[in-house]
Amino acid sequence: MQYDTRIAALRDKSGFTQEELADLLGISRASLSHYEKNRRKPDFQTLTRLADFFKVTIDYLIGRPPQWFFQTEIREFVDWNQLDNEEMFRLFDLRWDGHLLTEAETKKMIDLALQPRVLKQ
């Protein structure tokens, strides 16, 4: 799960302090701090509030790839073009829930998309 880095990044990008965001979510600042430092996992209700507040999906918060990424057409496109990870990263600005993915996130998504193909061989 990547909720710790995602929560902290979304909070920073929005310009809220931990205290302000915690108040808006109805949780303690200490709890939010623990989530951001991966010392404690947020429960489903808290994840839902965070996702709603930042207008992202819970899947985004926990680092799960979007379903479209596993569609056959995408895997076939990668296979047909025989693109390696570096070429894929150069050619596409991949986004998830409107957020531009970092290079590391993009590489992870590409690896995940290619994984079913590798397992079939």
H helix or E strand, kind and range, residue 27: none
11-68 pLDDT tens trace:
999 999 999 999 999 999 999 999 999 999 999 999 999 999 998 888 888 887 766 6
Helices (H), 1-121: 3-14, 18-25, 29-36, 44-54, 58-62, 72-81, 85-91, 103-120
Look at residue 97 and give its three-state secondary structure: coil
What would the two tokens of residue 93 be? 């600005």
Residue 101 has pLDDT above 70, yes or no: yes
In terms of pTM, does the model score above 0.75?
Answer: no
CATH code: domain 3-62 is 1.10.260.40
**Are residues 56 and 97 in contact, defined by beta-carbon separation less than 8 angstroms?**
yes
The residues of the chain that CATH labels 1.10.260.40 are 3-62
- Please compute, for residue 109, the number of CA atoms within 13 A of its CA located in the half-sphere on the CB side: 25
